[in-house]
Each structure stands twice: as C-alpha cells, then as structure tokens.
Amino acid sequence: MARDAVHAANTVQVIREPDILWRYEGECHRTLVGLFAATEHLTAGKITLQPGQRW
C-alpha cells in the first residue's frame, strides 16, 4: 500500500500534547480541560487544576 493509504486506514493514532484541543469549562471555578478524543461512546481528555482548586 502507498504511505497515504496506510495512514488513512489507521484507526489508532498517537496523540501528543500539541494535538489536544484545550478549552475552559465551568462558570464560577474555571478549569482548563483538554480533549484527546470525543465520540458518542467515549470522551477522553485531561484537566489541569490550579493550586488549591478542586474538581
């Protein structure tokens, strides 16, 4: 297979920090949330809490 065809056929890919979609969530206590992937079956991400902040 050509390189592009192999790449297009892959269903698992490495996601690195620069690939994360970051946004702020919450009204009172804003929390930085990074989404790796989101589908109708799964949402995977990470949150960044500030010192003393609780989720």
Could you read off the pLDDT of 13-30 as tens digits, one per residue?
Answer: 788 888 888 998 888 778
At 54, the amino acid letter reads R
Whether the pLDDT of residue 55 is over 70: the answer is no
Show the tokens assigned to 38. Answer: 């989101």
pTM above 0.75, yes or no: no
Report the C-alpha gap between 1 and 41 in whole angstroms: 31
Supply the mean pLDDT for the chain. 82
Residues 6 or more apart whose CB falls under 8 angstroms from that of 33 comprise 22, 23, 24, 25, 45, 46, 47, 48
